Amino acid sequence: MSESHPPQPPHPLPALTTSELTRYRRQLEHAITGLNPDAPVQADLRRKLGQVLAEQESRAAITATGGRQGP
């Protein structure tokens, strides 16, 4: 099986729209499931997926607090 990366997003993660971020996450998840777990590219894809998940969690926290920082 060939090792294919999803295309790079058009902007840095914080600049992506919510739908672009969701689409990129799905592409990464699909690429990871299609690879041999021992494939060298697996770690890079998982790192990128972790960054996407962190960005999504950050946005959810901002939404939940209305943009206010904690006490």
At CA 1, angle to CA 50 and CA 10, rounded to 5? Answer: 40
Report the pLDDT value the prediction gives residue 31, as an integer from 0 to 100.
92
Q: Give the per-residue pLDDT at 2.
A: 47
pTM: 0.83
- Nearest 5°: the CA angle 14, 61, 64 is 125
Burial of 7 (0-12, 13-18, 19+ CB in 10 A): exposed
How far apart CA 35 and CA 21 sit, in angstroms, is: 22
Q: pLDDT 10s digit of each residue in the chain, 71 long?
A: 445 678 889 899 999 999 999 999 999 999 999 888 888 899 999 999 999 999 999 999 999 998 787 66
Q: For residues 16 and 24, is the Cβ–Cβ distance under 8 A?
A: yes
At residue 13, what is the residue type? L
pLDDT at 4: 64
C-alpha to C-alpha distance for 71 and 8, rounded to whole angstroms:
37
